[in-house]
Amino acid sequence: MHRLPCRFTLTAMFTIEHDFDATVVTLVDDGAAPLAEDVIVAAFASCVTVAQYDARTDTTHKVSLSMTQVRDLAAALDLPEGSYRLSRTDPN
């Protein structure tokens, strides 16, 4: 386990692996029962996939997000309820 360079304690369990073509983050549910299956987030150059095994159906469900959708999701996590359209502004 790595220690974070801050005064906070990390209570979540996850792993990070840098593969040939992607960075893979595995989120482990180590909270109170009932526990959910691990969530695997793989970041590729052109998309991000999110996968989770479903024991009830014995299948893995996968969602692919474009990099634009990932950008929008990251912005949405810090915004209040509503409808938004993101646009780039000229940095000059």
Domain carrying residue 25: 13-76
Assigned domain for 29 exists:
yes
Is pLDDT above 80 for 2? no
Assigned domain for 39 exists:
yes
Residue 32: per-residue pLDDT: 83
Query: Which residue type is seen at 73?
Result: L
Query: How many other C-beta atoms are found inside a 10 Å radius of the C-beta of residue 72?
Result: 15
Contact 61, 51 (CB under 8 A): yes
Cα 30 to Cα 9: distance, rounded to the nearest angstrom: 15
Number of domains in the chain: 1
Assigned domain for 91 exists:
no
Tens digit of each residue's pLDDT (9 = 90 or more) over 11-59: 678 899 999 999 999 999 988 888 899 999 999 999 999 999 999 999 9
Assigned domain for 5 exists:
no
Assigned domain for 59 exists:
yes
Assigned domain for 7 exists:
no
Contact 26, 38 (CB under 8 A): yes
Is pLDDT above 70 for 92? no
Q: Which two tokens stand for residue 68?
A: 């634009």
Assigned domain for 35 exists:
yes
Contact 66, 45 (CB under 8 A): no
